[in-house]
Amino acid sequence: MTDTLCPVCQKSDRVKVLSLTLQGGTDFGVWRCGRCRHIWRTEPWKVSNQITYYEASPPTAKVMEALSNKTVKVFEKFLQLADKLKSNPTRLMVDFGCSCGTAMLMFKKHGWDVLGIELLPSAQKVLDERNLPWASSMKDSGLALRSVDIVVMSDCIYYLADPVGTLREIRSYMRPNGMLFLRHPTRAGLFYVSLKIMRKKVQSFPWGSHVHLFSRKSAELTLKQAGFANMKFLKEEGYERPLRTKIIHQLMRAADFISLGLLGLTLSWTVIAKE
Ligand SMILES: [Zn+2]
């Protein structure tokens, strides 16, 4: 038991230290909340440290593009849904954590006004080269509250220091009938089960530079806490993966189905959320 609050449900009574020795034991501890099954790691992963981490060997435009291109089919689905949105005379789309702007280019082609929110200087440089407008935060964007029709957040939520607070801020910029499109993995179940089975062998897997591992429950709760009342979790389709990873995903889905979702093993989702 710790005094640490779960960053999602804001309770501390079922928060436990999972491990203090992962990833070499030097840089972070791992906490888990038994209420919402959220798993997260502690400092020093502040936003400023993440920038330092990435900018130590900044990804090239090519690497960013290759990563974004894996999501093109998911973006196409977002665009189809956005184009169907009724009463959207402004057609304003914000891509939060836009990287090199792949989704923005697609929306722009369909007549949308676009704005990217991006923290990393290396990505900002690529956005400038592509003549895509960006800001480093919602506050600095110059956008009016209640003005945005569509917000895309793809593979970004797990980097945020405060996912609930950030989504709440994003919602305040969205029109009441606007839609948030989220694409992200929910790896908490797999991580927890792996840790129980393999103990120390888990090591850094599957953190990468992520701060949060969401469960489906904590993903839902994060959106609810941020004021989104209607949400649809769709089986994520179209994200481009190598064959081996594709097979693992299919096996995980089958295991999740067989275990009636109790272990939360499903790996990734496309989420559509509205107020
Ligand atoms: Zn919690």
Boundaries of every domain in the chain: 15-274
pLDDT of residue 26: 47
CA of 186 to the centre of ligand 1 (A): 14
CA of 193 to the centre of ligand 1 (A): 18
pLDDT tens for residues 95-128?
Answer: 999 999 999 999 999 999 999 999 889 999 999 9
CATH code of the domain made up of 15-274: 3.40.50.150
**Is the full-model pTM beyond 0.85?**
yes
CA of 40 to the centre of ligand 1 (A): 10
CA of 150 to the centre of ligand 1 (A): 28
DSSP string, the chain: --SPPPTTT---TTEEEEES-GGGGTS--EEEETTT--EEE-TT--HHHHHHHHHHSPPPHHHHHHHHHTTHHHHHHHHHHHHH-SS-TT-EEEEET-TT-HHHHHHHHTT-EEEEE---HHHHHHHHHTT--EESSSGGG-PPTT-EEEEEEES-GGG-S-HHHHHHHHHHHEEEEEEEEEEEE--HHHHHHHHHHHGGGGTTTT-TT-SEE--HHHHHHHHHHTT--EEEEEE-------HHHHHHHHHHHHHHHHTTTTT----EEEEEEE-
pLDDT tens for residues 24-69?
Answer: 444 567 889 999 999 988 755 556 666 777 777 788 888 888 888 8
CA of 219 to the centre of ligand 1 (A): 10
Low-confidence stretches of the chain (pLDDT beneath 50): 23-26
CA of 11 to the centre of ligand 1 (A): 6
